Structures are given as structure tokens and as C-alpha cells.
Structure 1
Amino acid sequence: MQKTQGVYLLAPIYKGTLAMMVGVSILSVDSLLIRLIESSGWTLLFWRGIISALVVLVFTMATKPKQTMNALRKPSKNLLIGSVAFSLSTVCFVLSIEHTQVASTLIIINVSPLICAALAFFFLKETIELRTLIAILAATLGIVFVFYGKALPNASFGNMLALVTALMLAIYFVVLRESKSANAPLFLVFGGLCTAVIAILAGAEPFSLTSQEWVYVIILCAVVVPSAFILISIGPKFLPAAHANLFMLLEAILGPLFVWMVLGEVPSDNVLIGGSIVMLTLVLFTLSSAKSRHSLNKKPSE
């Protein structure tokens, strides 16, 4: 009976883990498709926002029509904050990809779980442990390596945008966790519309795409982004915010791999060194946290 109860209690963790792993794996194609679309970043952001918002809205209206309509009529504070954070993370991510190497962007974004842990400490009253502080310092060192001596003229700007992306993603996950992922898909709807408005104001040219670019845009905006983030938004319902955010590490491995396979973009030495430090830090942080949680869940021997 005790074993059966333990498996039952672990089931939500498995659901959150599976949702995050599949969602981030799908999202890893994002970087490659952005590079294949040669139009301006603002034009891509417009369609990314509009199309993904419409796809997710149709999905939510079909699955939860009453709940969706109520949320649309009277959006909560969490929904608005999370949507703005999601929108800004999208804008900064796409522009970062345009100004630096894909691997550099994804590696810097990997500091997001540590930022998330710090935000959870202040806003969700979760205790921040010594290992978390050590991990933050180590990851910062890795980012210094990524910034140092870049060969690309605008790489520093791209890296700064990646850092903003990491911060916005952390806020997004904390808000999702606080709201227990209530109406989570609608974060993508409001966030997508906000992204489209920002893109238009910044000078997007929606109908300047070539026929080939339209194919990539439809795949990215109607399939990859909506399906990935619907799955990713499930994670914080079952997992702590920082824990769920840690699965974004998978994108740093798969994203550059897809770009290297198709476009032959080899990461620089600085990116590899800094990335190794960040990756090792976060892996050790994850393993340490998991071991500690396992020990705390053990019942004392009678």
C-alpha cells in the first residue's frame, strides 16, 4: 500500500517532466527556423505573435470555452504579467538570434533557472540555499566567457538580449507556478498579440515574405511555437518554477545541433567554454537538488 501510494504521489512529477521534455525538444527547432527565415526580425515577430495566438485561442475555445471566455473578459493580474513577460522573452530571443550565434544565445538563456530560483525566493517565499548561490556565481563565470572577445561585431548586443530573455522567461515561469498554470495557454494568446503590436510599431512588413519563407513561418508559428509552449506551460503546474525552468537546458543541446547540421554554424571556443561551465553548473545543481528532495521525502526508520 505504501509503495502504491508513493507511485501515485510521484505521478504529477512524471507528468510535469514529460511535458517539459517533449515541449522543449519541439522548441529546439525554433532557432533553426528563425535562421532560415531571412526577413527582418520584426516581420517574423509579427507573424509569430499573430499566428501562434490564433492557433492557441482556437485550441482553448475548443477545449475550455467557458473558462476561456471568462478569462478573456476579465484577465487576472498574473495573466497580464505573465503575458507581457512571455512577449518580451519572444522579442528578445528572436533579435538575439539575429545578432549572435545560436549557441551563444541558448547558453546565456540557460541562466534563467537560477534567476527563477532567486525570484521564487522573493515572491513565492521559497528558501534560497547555499548551493543555489554557488550555482549563480558559477553560471555568471560561464557567461563572462561567452561575452569575452567575441568575433562578431554585434555579438555583445545579441548576448544582452539573451540575458533579458532569460530574465523574462524566469518571470514567466514564476507567474505560471504561482497561478498553478491556470489558463496557461492564454498567456500565449495575450503574449502573442502583444508581440505583434510591438513588431508593427517597430516597422514590421508582414507581406514581404517569399514563398519559401512562408513555409517556414507556418511551420514555426502554427506548429512549433504553439505546441511547444502549451506543453511547457503544463510543467509548473506539477513542478517548482526553477525545477521546470531547468528543462530549458535541453534546448541548448538540441538547438545548436540542428543549426550545425543544416547550416554548418560551428560554435566558437568561447561559447563552448562558457557553455560547458554553465551546463555543468546547472546539471550539478539539478542533481544536488534532486538528491536533497529524495532525502527529505524518506520517512525515518521506525
Structure 2
Amino acid sequence: MSLSAYSRGLVAVSAATVALSTAGLMTRLVSIDGPTLLFLRGTIAGVFLLAVLAVTARRRIIADFVRLGWPGLLICATSAACAVLFIGALYTTSVAHVAIIFATCPFLAAGLGFLLLGERPGRVALIASGVAMAGVAVMIGSGEEGTLFGDLLAFAMTAMVALWTVLVRRYPDKPALPCTVVSCFLSATVALPFATPLATSSHDLLVVLGFGVLAFSLGFLLLTIGARDVPPVESALIGALDAPLAPFWVWLFLGDVPALTTLIGGIVVLAAVVGHVLLARNAPVVVAVPSIDR
């Protein structure tokens, strides 16, 4: 892996994490139910990204979708499952709980990356993951009440994100934009039988439109592109920034003040991620990616 490719992946994954961390804020700004939000977000994002694909790919658009194959469809199904579980968790437990649980993703990604890709995470990444987990432990003491069902959905979502990260890394030849388009429409299709989009107010529709295009569409696309050049444990470690960012957006725009332990834990997670990024150049991860059938 060249340094330039790693750097580009690092920037893409970091930017994607910031964008996607606003999902919790979106659920607090609307009054619609979870399935309706999932349907609208998936449909809006899918249409927007399909239009982008039509402009950028033009005559290659059909060929790009054909290139997905079974591995690409597996990536699409996994990311769609992530979206369904994510929205479900946000509606059944607190934003902080979802973010805190998601911060455990580096451990799952490291294990899956080792089992499926043969990637051995470096010492720096493992230490940083441990520090991030310590920050998560501090944040759990924030006193926010969640629900067992919602927390289980958040854990399932975290596991699916870890699997998705490894799959994208395992099959880097699969086109990112078509993958994201299919994923959006899959999640919308799953939600449709339970959704009531015609009852959505103009305010809620505008909120979902803004988040669906600017946060979800562009964020998920950047994540899909960046995950190709960043090992799963590092990609998931950067994603742990969602833990301090998600409650931060809710505080910034809605005035919900996080508990002191949440702030302290968020700072610890942030320090772990920044420290890892700064030290990774001197302690790169050894990557051994199996040959890919093309």
C-alpha cells in the first residue's frame, strides 16, 4: 500500500465519519417513524447517487452494475443491513448509547480482518483501540438510559459495519458508486411495507432531503472509497469518532448537554484516534491481501 493511497483513504474515511455522525441529530429533528425515515433516506440518497452515476459513468453505467457480481451484491446487502439496524437502534435507544456501542467496531473489524484477510493489526492500532475502548467505558457512566432491544440493535449494526469494512477491503475492484446506489434502494425496499411517506410533513421531508444527500449519500460514498485503502481495524478506529461526535451535534443544535463522563470519554476516544493517525506512519500495518479473482 503506497503512502499516497493510504493518505487518501484516511481523509475519505475521516470525512465520511464526520458526515455520517449527524444521523442521530437527524432523527431528533424529525417527527416521522423509523421505517418512513429509512424509506425516504434510502430513496432520496439512491436517486441522487444514481443521477451522479449517470453523469460520471454514462455509457458504462450498466457495465458498472454488472461488475458487482455476487461479492458486490453481498457488500450491498451488508451495507443495507447496517442502515436498517442503525435507524432502528437510533429510534429505540439513546444517540449516545448507539455511538458508544459503535466505538467497539475496531475490535470486531480487527478480528474479522485477521480471519478473512490475514491482516495483522500493528501494535499502534491495537493500543489505540484499547485506549478508545477505555474512553467508551468512561462514557457508559454518563447515566443515559437505553433499552436492551435498542442496544442489541446497535451491537448488531456494529458487527455488520465491521463485516462490511472487511468485505470492501477484500473486494476492492467492486465499483463504489453502484454499490452505494443498490444499498440505498435495498434499505428503502425493506422499509417500504412499514413506511407512511405520504403522511410526511414538508419540514420533515426537507430535513431528510438535506441529510440524505449531504450527510448520508456523500458520507457513505466517501466511506466506500476510503475503506479500500485503509485496513479494517484502522477504518473502524476512525469510525469510533462517531462516539464523541454524535452526542456533540445533538448538543450543538438542540442544546442537550452531555454528561461530564460523556465529554471525558469522548476526549479519550478522540485522542486515541488522533494519536493512532500520527503514529501510524512510523508503525505501518502489515497487509497481506489474498489474490482476487477478476
Structure-to-structure mapping, 1:3-18, within 5 angstroms: 9-18=2-11
Which of 4, 16, 26 aligns to 2:19? It is: 26
Distance 1:158 1:109 in 2: 12
Equivalent residue runs for 1:1-302 within 5 Å: 9-73=2-66, 75-127=68-120, 152=145, 154-180=146-172, 182-201=174-193, 203-268=194-259, 271=262, 289-293=280-284
Q: 1:136 to 1:177 in 2, by over 3 A?
A: same
Using a 3 Å threshold, how does the CA distance of structure 1 residues 196 and 209 change in structure 2: closer, same or farther? same
- Which of these two proteins has the greater Rg computed from alpha carbons? 1
Say if 1:83 and 1:191, in contact at 8 Å, map to a contact too: yes
CA distance in 2, matches of 1:159, 1:71: 37
Aligned Cα root-mean-square deviation (Å): 3.1
Letter of the aligned partner of 1:96 in structure 2? Answer: A
Q: Is the 8 A contact 2:102 2:155 kept in 1?
A: yes
CA distance in 2, matches of 1:197, 1:26: 24
Give the Cα separation in 1 of the matches to 2:195 and 2:230.
37
Unaligned runs of at least 5 residues, structure 1: 1-7, 297-302
TM-aligned CA deviation for residue 26 of structure 1: 2.3
Distance in 2, matches of 1:295 and 1:239, equals: 11
Whole-angstrom CA distance in 1 between matches of 2:41 and 2:174 = 23
Determine what percentage of the aligned residue pairs are the same residue: 26
State the alpha-carbon separation in 2 of the partners of residues 131 and 272 from structure 1.
24
Gap change, CA 1:28 and 1:128, over 3 Å in 2:
closer
Amino acid at match of 1:76: G
User: Contact 1:104/1:271 (CA < 8 Å) preserved in 2?
Assistant: no
CA distance in 1, matches of 2:232, 2:285: 18
Shift of 1:133: 6.7
**Which region of structure 1 is more displaced relative to structure 2, 136-145 or 216-225?**
136-145
1:103 and 1:133, CA in 2 relative to 1: closer, same or farther beyond 3 A? Answer: same
State the TM-score, normalized to the length of structure 1: 0.81
Q: Is the 8 A contact 1:68 1:183 kept in 2?
A: no
Q: Give yes or no for contact 1:111–1:278 (8 Å, CA) kept in 2.
A: no
Q: Give secondary structure in 2 for the equivalent of 1:42.
A: helix
The structure-2 alpha-carbon separation of the partners of 1:280 and 1:14, relative to structure 1 and needing over 3 Å to count, comes to: closer
